[in-house]
Amino acid sequence: MQSTGSKVEAWCLVRGTVQGVGFRDFVSEAAQGCGIQGWVRNETDGTVRVCAQGTPDALKELVEYLHEGSVMSQVTAVEVEWRDVDVVYDDFGIWR
């Protein structure tokens, strides 16, 4: 079992034009650049869900990226729920 140290978790729901525009790849690259573990996936309602684990500062940086969005996306809202880490992820993946 890995120690979570000072890691926290952010569950984010991104609304807008965020599917079919390279948004998940954008999130994956941003998360890896911030040293964040977790995953991103499309939801059936057209939103994108992100589960991100890292330091509070790294997660805040990722949330800023989520608001910015990829070149072709149009983000209208980002909802963030802060949680304690339960399941520890070793990397960041795109879930399909």
> Hey, which residues are catalytic here?
24, 42
Do 52 and 31 touch, CB atoms closer than 8 A? yes
Do 26 and 67 touch, CB atoms closer than 8 A? no
| Sign of the dihedral defined by the CA atoms of residues 14, 19, 22, 28, in that order | positive
